[in-house]
Structure 1
Amino acid sequence: MDFQLSLSSESVGATQPDPPLATTPDEPLANVLGLLRAQKQAAVMICEGPQLVGIFTERDALKLLAAGSDLSAPVSSAMSTDLMTIAKDTTVGAAIRLMSEGGYRHLPVVDGDRSPSGVVAVRGIVHYLVEHFPDAVYTQSPSGDRPHAEREGA
């Protein structure tokens, strides 16, 4: 399939979004950090009932730890509430554009009532691109100025 056609027609489901890891706004930060570590995830969806109200990412955790914050405080004190979300039928190209323009590394996938059903991560997008378009990925020059005729590397 053509690279541009695929990005504009395939949904983010093709990137194999991570299942949502969720908790409540009153969960202590120490517990949320433990959850991230135990589940080997980079983002936790913060939900009130089934509805997404925030996200806490590894980037938030680094800021928190660098500031020496109180880890007994609720995650609501450190979560991001200005959320960019996408629907499961959002195209891969639209997700890449949103991530690039907004500087997001994780986009929650939500249904009509803002209930999270997954998380699209940069890692998943990269795996999708490598898997579906190896020639386009592997033949790029390191400087990005022009593609090589053959794949580089081992």
Structure 2
Amino acid sequence: MGRSEFEDAYEDFEDLEHIRGAILNTAIADLSLRTPIVVEDSASVAEAVDAMNEHHTGCVLVVRDGKLVGIFTERDVLKKVVFQSESPTERVEEVMTPNPETLEPDANIAFALNKMSVGGYRHIPVVDRDGKPIGVLSVRDIVDLLVELYPADVLNLPPTPAQGIATTVDGG
């Protein structure tokens, strides 16, 4: 009797067991997180968006007295500013996501991925024990780590049937 697609896929996954090990054994502190871009909660939406544009980042962390009180993301710009016609002079405190989920530097990548998946987050602030932001972990950071550690495995993964095959040039 022939092998099923499931058996073939499962065997392929077993070959990638070392990637799972990296996700479980790598701490956030082991990544080269960028310095977080922060704005005070009294900053305007326009100032927050300017900071995001200037630093080519998808979010800014919002602080009060140096401690994290919120996160303001590209999604917040679209959902709360553009589509709700909030003014760019509105304070970022009014449209940020307050009290965001956070991670500590000693958390492992698997824990971070779980939080991101369950919450639907692309960015999670990394804070010290006093609640002061020390970085932002993004999905891109995790993908970059996996590509760095296992370029042959990650870059040569075949597309899944759900992905289909591209028939047009992206962006064109």
Question: Aligning the two structures, in what range does the TM-score lie when normalised by the shorter sequence?
Answer: 0.7 to 0.9
Q: Is structure 2 residue 119 aligned with structure 1 residue 119?
A: no
- The amino acid that maps onto 1:23 is V
Share of identical aligned residues, percent? 30
**Moved >6 Å (runs of 4+):** none
> Number of aligned pairs?
145
Give distance in 2, aligned partners of 1:110 and 1:27. 21
Q: Which residue of 1 aligns with 2:61?
A: 45
Identify which of structures 1 and 2 has the higher relative contact order when contacts are C-alpha pairs closer than 8 Å and 6+ apart. Answer: 1
Q: Which residue of 1 aligns with 2:124?
A: 107
List gaps (5 residues or longer) in structure 2: 1-16, 163-172
Give distance in 2, aligned partners of 1:77 and 1:28. 9
Question: Which is greater in Rg?
Answer: 2
Q: Which residue of 2 aligns with 1:28?
A: 44
Q: Which residue of 2 aligns with 1:90?
A: 107
List gaps (5 residues or longer) in structure 1: 146-154
How far off its partner does 1:144 sit?
Answer: 5.8
Q: Which residue of 1 aligns with 2:73?
A: 57
Q: TM-score, normalised by structure 2?
A: 0.78
- The amino acid that maps onto 2:45 is L
Q: TM-score, normalised by structure 1?
A: 0.87
Give distance in 1, aligned partners of 2:109 and 2:98. 24
